[in-house]
Amino acid sequence: MTSLLSGKNIVVMGVANNRSIAWGITQSLHNAGANLIFTYRQERSKQKLNKLLDKHGIEPRMVVPCDAEDDQSIEQAFQKIGEEAGIIHGLVHSIAFANAEELQGEYADTSRDGYLLAQNISAYSLVAVTREARKYMTEGGSIVTQTYIGAERVVPNYNVMGAAKAALEASVRYLAEDVGKDDIRVNAVSAGPLRTLSAKGIAGFNDKVSAVEEKAPLRRQVDQDQVGDVNLFLLSELARGVTGEVLHVDAGFHTVA
Ligand code: NDP
Ligand code: KAL
């Protein structure tokens, strides 16, 4: 797999620490020879990222701040990336946020502000990022975002994020239609539960893991590497015929009743 992405400039958004899905993706992309550009929101994430890169001997092409809630920040980040890297070949969107108090109890109690916040950061950000990245994807390219089965089915506590991921998955299809004209593909990976910082302290996470181990055809959880490798596939030429797709990396859990 060493040469799958050699010489390709790939932007990775959403590494918070070593457990992040985006960090699993980073390792797959690095092993495939990609030049990696990172964006982060919090200073703490930047520090963790720099330490991880150092520890794993990965030399980043650039590390750029980008707040996915802010159009100007997105515009500036991609302008900087475009000016320095020239061409962007791929983009990984691995960003989501909802207020913790909206991730419990009844979905019917979701506030207007909480709903809009989750949609803004978790779904609209893909639209804004695609628009900016597209300007520099002059040789075609591939965009991959991360979703969860809570978009398709009712998963207790996922609530407002379920609505945000449903919007994200629909956006994948509409964006794929728009940017397909420029030979850019847009897909989503729907991962099984992974114990990340986002999942920490949220009620019901352990139940989701047990359900996968019990019910999924493969009868085991997925790990960061498996999710990373499917992102790699979608970013590579191997997936040149795939766009507007939601690909499950969940040990088959979504297929069983
Ligand atoms: P992490 O907590 O590791 O990553 C979440 C990332 O979102 C952080 O890097 C955080 O950056 C970033 N983020 C949040 N708000 C913003 C913002 N306004 N601007 C820029 N970045 C922002 O969790 P995961 O790796 O689990 O999450 C990554 C993606 O994977 C999410 O879309 C999630 O919904 C999805 N997913 C996760 C699953 C799981 O089981 N963990 C399963 C299926 C999908 P910072 O900390 O710097 O603010
Ligand atoms: C049914 C599951 C159990 C958990 C329920 C909801 C999970 C929602 C994900 C959402 C992204 C979590 C948050 O926004 C957490 C946030 O309120 C507090 N955390 C933070 O601010 C940390 C510090 C930063 C890094 O987090 C973010 N996001 O910026 C779903 C499970 C089984 C699968 C998961 C976790 C899916 C998913 O989408 O992440």
Q: For the residues 164-176, what does the mean pLDDT come to?
A: 99
User: Is the ipTM here above 0.95?
Assistant: yes
Tell me the domains of the chain and their CATH numbers. 9-255 (3.40.50.720)
pLDDT at residue 257, as a whole number: 93
- How large is the average pLDDT for residues 215-228? 97
Which ligand lies nearest the alpha carbon of 226?
Answer: 1
Q: Which residue's alpha carbon is nearest to atom 13 within ligand 1?
A: 95
* Centre of ligand 2 from the C-alpha of residue 181, in Å: 34
Transcribe 152-183 into DSSP letters: TS--TTTHHHHHHHHHHHHHHHHHHHHHGGGT
In this structure, the residue with its CA closest to atom 36 of ligand 2 is 148
Average of per-residue pLDDT across 4-21: 98
Q: Which amino acid would we find at residue 26? A: T
In angstroms, what is the span from residue 198 Cα to ligand 1's centroid? Answer: 6
Ligand 2 mutation pick, 202, 207, 213, 250, max ligand atoms within 8 A of CB? 202
- Number of neighbouring beta carbons within 10 Å of residue 43: 9
Query: How much is the pLDDT for 18?
Result: 98
Phi, psi of 190 (to 5 degrees): -105, 100
Tens of pLDDT, residues 127-162: 999 999 999 999 999 999 999 999 999 999 999 999
pLDDT in tens, 78-124: 999 999 999 999 999 999 999 999 999 999 999 999 999 999 999 99
Per cent of the chain over pLDDT 70 is 99
R_g over Cα of the chain: 17
Residue 1's pLDDT band (cuts 50, 70, 90)? low
Q: What is the pLDDT of residues 180-220, one digit of tens each?
A: 999 999 999 999 999 999 998 777 888 888 999 999 999 99
Residue 115 φ then ψ, to 5°: -60, -50
Q: Residue 58: pLDDT band by 50, 70, 90 thresholds?
A: very high
Between the CA atoms of 190, 192, 194 and 196, what dihedral angle is there, to the nearest 10 degrees? 30
